[in-house]
């Protein structure tokens, strides 16, 4: 990491923040500080520029209560809040247990519930919450989703802005890498806390971070993290265009009495395959049923094209698609909430 790159970090961060114009002067931003290098760098970078942008800052810390060092992490975040003369918000988890299945996901849900509560207070404690997700986190997430199996939307990975009740979750560090943030902190003489659980190789993300990504960079592409993060940004921009097209295509359907939709089979069959798949997936996700996987989606699209073809099946075809039951005839396609999802009204 070159010295010029380290010294230019505050300027590049300020330019990125100004370009996005996330908050108006006078608004309040709570900075989520775990004590690690990413969140501490975010706090210090924002502190440098908050006065000129007339932003009000506070520090928010979620105490997971899962490690012996958790109290020290909370005190570290509180000490930085005192040092910078900023309000401090602390939430202690009471229901997390190390033996819980899917512990990481459960901890994340509770952490974001805490952020949502800050945004929902009256008056609100903050207009937005900033978290320290970096380009490295983005690259890891893209690779994890590729390994698990995902569609184009999943490759957009961590979103720079996430709606949360009356406010937003912001990720200002997504263009920046952990290495440059840590180099800048060292140049500033600021130490950070190391979370020992980040070295726990029983966690898939940690295996990707410490083993798979370094091996891929060593053997195939030394700039792989940057390439994966750039892929997420590229896909995110394209997903915005697709969302607009899907919103237009939703108007092809008409609501039925009670719950559900009806649309002419020929209109669906005339859509390009990618648009048809996305439209069906959007409708399927409107319900509260299981996830809509590619195999079921492919079966429904093939049945729609068969029904609209020269030799349609003699009988209606029925499919379960996410939270929907889909009935296909040569003239109409009906989409109704599946049993167990009654009361869900699909928006055309």
Predicted pLDDT of residue 322: 86
Which residues touch 10 (CB under 8 Å, ≥6 apart)?
Answer: 45, 48, 49, 184
Q: What gap in Å lies between CA 230 and CA 139, rounded to an integer?
A: 9
Predicted pLDDT of residue 202: 83
Predicted pLDDT of residue 121: 86
Is pTM beyond 0.75? Reply is: yes
Q: What gap in Å lies between CA 285 and CA 288, rounded to an integer?
A: 7
Predicted pLDDT of residue 151: 85
Residue 222: C-alpha distances to residues 70, 201, 214 (Å): 35, 23, 8
| Class of residue 154 by CB neighbours under 10 A (exposed 0-12, middle 13-18, buried 19+) | middle
Residue from 196, 213, 217 nearest 204 by CA? 213
Per-residue buried b or exposed e for 193-205, using 16+ beta carbons within 10 Å of the residue's own CB? bebebeeeeeeee
Crossing angle for the helix pair 37-53 and 9-20, to the nearest 10 degrees: 60
Predicted pLDDT of residue 197: 80
| Class of residue 95 by CB neighbours under 10 A (exposed 0-12, middle 13-18, buried 19+) | exposed
Residues in the chain with pLDDT values less than 50: none
Q: What gap in Å lies between CA 18 and CA 336, rounded to an integer?
A: 46
Classify the C-alpha dihedral 51-52-58-61 as positive or negative.
negative
Looking from the CA of 299 toward its CB, the CA atoms found within 13 Å total 13
Contact, 170 vs 130, CB < 8 A?
yes
**Domain 3-234, classified CATH 3.40.50.300, yes or no:** no
């Amino acid at each position: 990491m070159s010295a010029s790159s380290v010294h230019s970090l505050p300027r590049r961060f300020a330019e990125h923040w100004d370009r996005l114009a996330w908050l108006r002067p006078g608004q309040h931003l709570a900075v989520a500080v775990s004590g690690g290098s990413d969140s501490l760098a975010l706090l210090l970078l924002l502190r440098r520029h908050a006065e000129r942008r007339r932003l009000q800052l506070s520090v928010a810390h979620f105490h997971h209560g899962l490690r012996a060092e958790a109290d020290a992490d909370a005190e570290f975040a509180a000490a930085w809040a005192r040092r910078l003369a900023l309000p401090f918000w602390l939430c202690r988890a009471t229901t997390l247990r190390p033996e819980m299945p899917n512990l990481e996901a459960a901890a994340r849900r509770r952490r974001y519930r805490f952020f949502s509560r800050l945004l929902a207070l009256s008056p609100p404690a903050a207009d937005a919450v900033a978290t320290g997700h970096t380009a490295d986190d983005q690259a890891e997430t893209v690779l994890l989703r590729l390994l698990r199996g995902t569609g184009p939307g999943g490759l957009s990975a961590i979103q720079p802005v996430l709606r949360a009740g009356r406010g937003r979750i912001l990720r200002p560090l997504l263009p920046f890498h952990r290495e440059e943030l840590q180099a800048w902190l060292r140049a500033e003489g600021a130490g950070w806390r190391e979370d020992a659980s980040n070295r726990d190789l029983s966690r898939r993300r940690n295996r990707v971070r410490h083993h798979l990504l370094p091996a891929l960079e060593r053997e195939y592409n030394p700039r792989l993290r940057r390439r994966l993060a750039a892929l997420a940004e590229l896909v995110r921009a394209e997903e915005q265009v697709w969302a607009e097209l899907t919103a237009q295509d939703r108007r092809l359907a008409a609501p039925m009495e009670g719950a559900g939709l009806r649309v002419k089979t020929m209109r669906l069959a005339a859509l390009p395959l990618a648009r048809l798949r996305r439209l069906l997936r959007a409708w399927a996700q409107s319900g509260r049923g299981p996830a809509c996987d590619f195999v079921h989606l492919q079966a429904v699209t093939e049945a729609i094209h068969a029904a609209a073809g020269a030799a349609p099946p003699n009988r209606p075809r029925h499919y379960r698609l996410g939270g929907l039951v889909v009935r296909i005839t040569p003239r109409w396609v009906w989409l109704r909430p599946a049993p167990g999802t009654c009361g869900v009204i699909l928006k055309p």
